Amino acid sequence: MRMVLYLGVVLVSLVSMLTGMGTTATKAVTNGIGAAQAEAVLPSNGGPKRIVSDAAFIRGGGLWVKRAGQEQQLAPGGTGAAAARYPRWSSDGKWLAYTRGAMSSNQQLRVIERSKGVELQVAQQVDRFAWSPDKNRLAYLRQGILFVVDAASPDKPAEIAREMSNFAWLPDGSGLLASTQSKLLDGESNWTRVRLLQIPISAAGSAGPAVTLYTLPEQSDAFFAVGTSTFKWSANGRWIAFLATPTASLSADGNTLCVLSADGKVFRKVDEMVNHEQWIQWSPEGESLAYIGGVGREATTNKQLRVLAKPDAGQPTVYTPQGKAAGDFTWNGANSIIVSQAAEQAFSSDPKKRPRPSLVVVDLTSGKQLPLTTPTGGYGEYDPILLPGKQLSWIRYDGQQANVWLADKAGQPGAIWINSIDPGDNYYEQWGWDAVLDYAKR
């Protein structure tokens, strides 16, 4: 695989926000890529000195993995409905789950044991799925019915609950937190309230009695929800963040970001934002919540990085300057965030006229921003991910080709690590690169 070295060198003094650990200021080398990509070529062992995470990715509609610098195709490629999407590692890295088929009609959930390479079909018409954090079993939602299945026995699913809208595994894997589907009471405008249920799951995969953790507020001029997003726990386990979602046409432009204490006693409506689950992230320490706030489906305008320091007190702080629009981001320690940011402008129907973002690092204490990358030639920087060992991954994309870049640390030189992955999901420039890339947790 060809790997490239940064040319167009820009020296930027980056203070302690690069590590998020309060260390001495360092120097960053950033780069741009010309239209002809006329960079100096590194040997195959160039770029980051160490690779700490296995990657699963989609190329040509096929499922691929990369480990220790070696690529391997695990499942054949395809186009359209035959393409693989949404690769997800099991918690121990021995299994991969992924989908084939159109999400709106017949999305098939499949698993593959990495060591054997045998592809098994789990279910069809699957809306979403998630691995348990402690076992090789999957929960998945199919037409409102929630199932749990062992990866080694995909033909023996256990039905857990009906009329569900979304779910997440509890952090210890002992059960699920699921939200019910709201129903029209009179056939016109009055809806039932959404309940959040804790459902214990036995070691054998069967469900115990569900307990209502919380019931969302009833419909009003200030609140309307017929379902939820998935659920995300703070690092200390005390808080849960999620979106309360209205009907589909309304959800495209605005949803209510909520926080709930893990015991169900404290509930708070935080803000309004689009239905993009990757744009909600807890700090790796404590209980600060970062998200991309702002209504309107167009990601090129009215999108700001906001941080709520304490879930039960205070108001969010906005960290995006006027004239800029924020997008994908990752925490860089407890006190800084790396965010994909572009010039704010009205959405254009011509993709070539839409702004391409670059990466900046934001110091949450001072509010200052400094650039990490300066792409040129029509390229943009998306999906920053801080990996174990502080390695920084991101995607560089020009509308035609997407490459995964990797640096040993934020602010240090990076290089192409994976060439030519398929484009992620795109909705009005809200990119979902998790559709084509996932890193193993260990």
Taking residues 189-203, report their average pLDDT.
Answer: 94
| DSSP state for residue 9 in the 8-state scheme | -
pLDDT of amino acid 13? 37
Residue of 94, 92, 85 whose CA lies nearest to 128: 85
Range of lowest pLDDT (74-88, 98-112, 136-150, 331-345): 98-112
Taking residues 183-197, report their average pLDDT.
Answer: 88
pLDDT of amino acid 204? 84
Residue 5: pLDDT band with limits 50, 70, 90 = very low
Residue of 291, 354, 355 whose CA lies nearest to 320: 291
pLDDT of amino acid 68? 83
pLDDT of amino acid 208? 94
Taking residues 170-180, report their average pLDDT.
Answer: 97
Q: Are 315 and 294 in contact (CB under 8 A)?
A: no
Residue 163 has pLDDT above 50, yes or no: yes
Residue 238 has pLDDT above 60, yes or no: yes
Taking residues 94-101, report their average pLDDT.
Answer: 94
Residue 52 has pLDDT above 80, yes or no: no
Instruction: Compare 39 and 179 and report the one with higher pLDDT.
Output: 179
Residue 45 has pLDDT above 90, yes or no: no
Residue 83 has pLDDT above 80, yes or no: yes
**Contact residues for 168 (Cβ-Cβ < 8 A; gap 6+):** 130, 176, 177, 230, 231, 232
pTM check: above 0.85: yes
Compute the mean pLDDT over every residue in the chain, rounded to the nearest whole number: 88
Instruction: Compare 6 and 111 and report the one with higher pLDDT.
Output: 111
> What percent of the chain is modeled with pLDDT above 70?
87
Range of lowest pLDDT (47-51, 96-100, 318-322): 47-51
pLDDT of amino acid 279? 98
12: exposed, middle or buried (C-beta count within 10 Å: 0-12, 13-18, 19+)? middle
